[in-house]
Amino acid sequence: MPEKNRMSERRRQIVQFIHGYLREHGRPPTVRDIQRGVGVASTAVVKYHLDRLEKAGYVERAPRASRGLRLTSKALSWLGAAADEPVSSVVRVPIVGSIVAGEPVTAYPTFDADVDTLELTRDIISDTENVFALRVRGDSMVDASVHDGDVVILRQQEEANNGDMVAVWLEDDQETTLKYFYREGRYVRLQPANPAYEPIIKPAEVVRVQGKVIAIIRRLAA
Amino acid sequence: MPEKNRMSERRRQIVQFIHGYLREHGRPPTVRDIQRGVGVASTAVVKYHLDRLEKAGYVERAPRASRGLRLTSKALSWLGAAADEPVSSVVRVPIVGSIVAGEPVTAYPTFDADVDTLELTRDIISDTENVFALRVRGDSMVDASVHDGDVVILRQQEEANNGDMVAVWLEDDQETTLKYFYREGRYVRLQPANPAYEPIIKPAEVVRVQGKVIAIIRRLAA
DNA sequence: GTATATGATGAACGTATGTTCTATGTCAAG
DNA sequence: CTTGACATAGAACATACGTTCATCATATAC
């Protein structure tokens, strides 16, 4: 079976060329620049790969604008070109996956090349140690306060204080959920943000805190 | 006596616009972008000033190439722009104020020095035109989906499409609120995100859209 | 006055450039 | 063998965009 995350050599070539051209000329290349740069005979080939790269989130484009091309942070980190950005209060955070009912959050990963990343600034997260992001998928662990498609930023930790919003793995239900955390003796009360929902009360030993939510970002259709 | 190094206001405008455009879009502007940006009626005017600027060593151009334009270090230092800041994906957005019941959102401000700003990355907002941020204060216009302390990112616009989340000023109630927008004939239905709340229905003429919400950021206690 | 430089206008013109369409070859899955 | 993704080619099209030109107004210098 073909590796799912393998990006074709041609695509890597193109991203690399764009990056080089940008550094050299101070403007993005045209489709035909890329065509010559990577050595293909048709502009349609370039267009084809740019479409794929855009869909994969490596490139953003301004339709019909000449040189309307920009590399995303994902592409830059993919190139290992993070050295591009100097000082900057920009922080790159890995998106380790999605919250899906039935699966635990995977262990905090090393910075693999093709881990999806999210760029944030220190205006949003002040500290970057052990910070990671999760994309919320589906409604299973969601109440009115967190929606499908939201990105939650978490700091990895096993303990939580009362009132913290945490991602927890429930051993017995075999699922991850986002809730407010309250310790009550040998039990843990998991309180949905929406007061209309009933709290979940579990023995402490089946509740595994995976991380504490430090920010929630919701992007609406632009 | 006119100073020898005095550069016309128009020229300063143009250099400034190029610099801003570059930071926002990651590519140089076209002649027509500049034309609109500085408000002249003919592309020939832009060409004229670009020729002068090139001769004076403020810009370099690649003849006949679209967006074949780059600012020299001379231009950058002239602008007081700290050296050659590489095109960054960081965007600074003004926080124009808070949403408070009883007050309209102030008009979109010019970029004053002492406006509070928020740094975001393009991973969060892709476009920066007319984007501003509001801090949500109090609960008066809030439902379960937006909380006190949240920051909402908006693009300023007077119209809205059905389903957009917008900030609207209600003439008769004299207050601003965040709701989903639905046009229904001569009326507008303002739908809270929380289905448990009742929609507000108003005649279209008392509903003034102030901007469309493109992102919501909630920071929890670190 | 007559010059001369500066700044602006509107209308072209030519080509650079993104996009679309049709067609072809390869390769793995069924 | 057929089917369907993937990659490529070539040609044509529509328009985005740099450029040129003729014209006009307003200064300052001679």
What one-character-per-residue DSSP string does A114-136 give?
T--EEEEETTT-S--TTEEEEEE
Same structural domain for residues A114 and A152?
yes
Report the chain B residue with the minimal C-alpha distance to residue A212: B222
- For the stretch B13-66, pLDDT in tens is 898 889 888 888 889 999 999 999 888 899 999 999 999 888 888 888 988 899
Report the chain A residue with the minimal C-alpha distance to residue B162: A221
- For the stretch B78-114, pLDDT in tens is 776 544 444 455 566 666 666 654 454 544 443 333 3
CA angle B215, B218, B220 (to 5 degrees): 165
Structural domains of chain A, count:
2
Average pLDDT of span B162-174: 82
B189 interfaces chain A, CB cutoff of 8 Å = no
Calculate the alpha carbon distances from B140 to B154, B165, B203 in Å.
19, 17, 21
Same structural domain for residues B155 and B207?
yes
Which residues are within 7 Å of strand C by their Cβ atom?
A 1, 30-33, 43-44, 47, 50, 61, 63-69; B 8, 10, 40-45, 48-49, 52, 64-66, 68
- Domain assignment present for A2: no
Average pLDDT of span B109-128: 55
B40 lies in which domain range? 9-78
- Domain assignment present for A4: no
- Domain assignment present for B4: no
Does strand D come within 7 Å of the CB of B60?
A: no
Same structural domain for residues A133 and A38?
no
- Domain assignment present for A98: yes
Residue A179 appears among annotated catalytic residues: yes
Give the pLDDT of residue B25.
86
Q: Which CATH number characterizes residue A187's domain? A: 2.10.109.10
Give the pLDDT of residue B188.
92
CB contact under 8 A, B126 and A26: no
Average pLDDT of chain B is 74
What residues of B are in contact with residue A68 (Cβ under 8 Å)? 27
Give the pLDDT of residue B97.
61
- Domain assignment present for A222: no
What residues of A are in contact with residue B62 (Cβ under 8 Å)? 25
φ/ψ of B220, rounded to 5, equals -100, 165
Last residue of a domain, one of A34, A64, A84: A84
Same structural domain for residues A113 and A209?
yes
Query: Which is nearest to A153 in space by CA: A119, A182, A180?
Result: A119
Per-residue confidence of chain A (222 residues) as pLDDT tens digits?
Answer: 333 334 578 888 899 899 888 878 888 999 999 999 888 999 999 999 999 999 888 898 988 899 999 988 788 777 765 444 433 445 666 666 666 544 545 544 443 434 456 666 656 665 666 777 777 765 545 554 677 777 888 888 888 888 888 888 888 877 777 888 899 989 999 887 666 678 889 998 888 888 888 888 877 765
Average pLDDT of span B131-138: 73
CB contact under 8 A, B62 and A25: yes
Query: Which is nearest to B39 in space by CA: B13, B59, B19?
Result: B13
Q: Which three-class secondary structure state does DSSP give residue B9?
A: helix
CA dist., res. B192 & res. B175, Å (int): 15
Containing H/E element for A215?
strand A207-219
Instruction: Report chain A's C-alpha Rg in angstroms.
Output: 21
Last residue of a domain, one of B78, B111, B138: B78
Same structural domain for residues A113 and A189?
yes
- Domain assignment present for B222: no
Query: Which is nearest to B29 in space by CA: B58, B72, B67, B79?
Result: B67
Same structural domain for residues B159 and B65?
no
Give the pLDDT of residue B31.
93
Same structural domain for residues B133 and B195?
yes
**Of the partner residues B69, B219, B221, the one whose CB lies closest to the CB of residue A124:** B219
* Chain A, window 73-92: residues with a beta carbon less than 8 angstroms from a chain B beta carbon: 73, 84-86, 88-90
- Domain assignment present for B39: yes
Same structural domain for residues A31 and A123?
no
B137 interfaces chain A, CB cutoff of 8 Å = no
Nucleotide nearest to B68 (CA to C1'): D18
Distance from CA of A201 to the nearest CA of B (A): 23
Q: Which three-class secondary structure state does DSSP give residue A33?
A: helix
Same structural domain for residues A129 and A211?
yes
DSSP A154-201: EEE-S---TT-EEEEEETTTTEEEEEEEEEETTEEEEE-SSTTSPPEE
Same structural domain for residues B204 and B169?
yes
Give the pLDDT of residue B176.
77
- Domain assignment present for A1: no
- For the stretch A42-64, pLDDT in tens is 999 999 999 999 988 889 898 88
Give the pLDDT of residue A1.
31
CA dist., res. A171 & res. A110, Å (int): 25
Question: In angstroms, how far is C8 C1' from B14 CA?
Answer: 15
Question: In angstroms, how far is D29 C1' from A120 CA?
Answer: 59
CA dist., res. A50 & res. B197, Å (int): 45
Can you list the positions of beta strands (E) in chain B? Answer: 59-61, 69-71, 90-99, 117-121, 131-136, 151-156, 165-170, 175-184, 187-191, 200-203, 207-219
Query: Which is nearest to B130 in space by CA: B158, B97, B157, B103?
Result: B157
φ/ψ of B161, rounded to 5, equals -95, 160
Give the pLDDT of residue A218.
79
Give the pLDDT of residue A116.
57
Helix/strand/coil percentages in chain A, nearest 5: 25, 30, 45
Give the pLDDT of residue B33.
92
> Which of B55, B126, B140, B202 is the catalytic position?
B140
Same structural domain for residues A61 and A125?
no
Last residue of a domain, one of B52, B78, B104: B78
The residue type at A176:
T
Give the pLDDT of residue A29.
94
Give the pLDDT of residue A35.
93
Residue whose entry in the numeric block shows the structure tokens 């095109």: B87
B218 interfaces chain A, CB cutoff of 8 Å = yes
Q: Which CATH number characterizes residue B72's domain? A: 1.10.10.10
Give the pLDDT of residue B128.
61
Same structural domain for residues A110 and A72?
no
Instruction: Note whether A122 and B123 are within 8 A (CB).
Output: no
CA dist., res. A37 & res. A15, Å (int): 11
For testing contact with chain B, the best of A66, A151, A166, A220 (most B CBs within 10 A) = A220
B63 interfaces chain A, CB cutoff of 8 Å = no
